[in-house]
Amino acid sequence: MKINKIMEGSRYGEVSCLACFMRFWPRKGADKAKCPGCGIEWRITWPHPRTARVMGHNRETYPTGDKI
């Protein structure tokens, strides 16, 4: 089963930044994580105990206008 291969690999819990596409590991169980590459903070969800997923940017800290 495909999910078993994903969960057995060394990349479980890893997410990809939607702005710079750098891959990083958020702290386990964290609901927010900051990309070490570009510094944008993302909302994180954990659909499975060892699988993280980016849900979108953190609206309070997302750069807008001239900050980008």
pLDDT at 65: 63
Q: Positive or negative CA dihedral for 38, 21, 23, 60?
A: positive
Query: What pLDDT does 66 receive?
Result: 58
- What is the extent of the structural domain holding 48? 2-67
24: how many CB neighbours lie within 10 A of its CB?
A: 16
pLDDT of residue 64: 67
Residue type at 36 in one-letter notation: P
- Give the total number of structural domains in the chain: 1
What's the distance, CA 60 to chain centroid? Answer: 17
The predicted-structure confidence for 5-64, as pLDDT tens digits, reads as follows 555 556 788 999 999 999 999 999 999 999 999 999 999 999 988 899 999 888 777 666
Q: Let me know: does 18 contact 57? Beta carbons within 8 Å.
A: yes
CA distance 22 to 61: 19
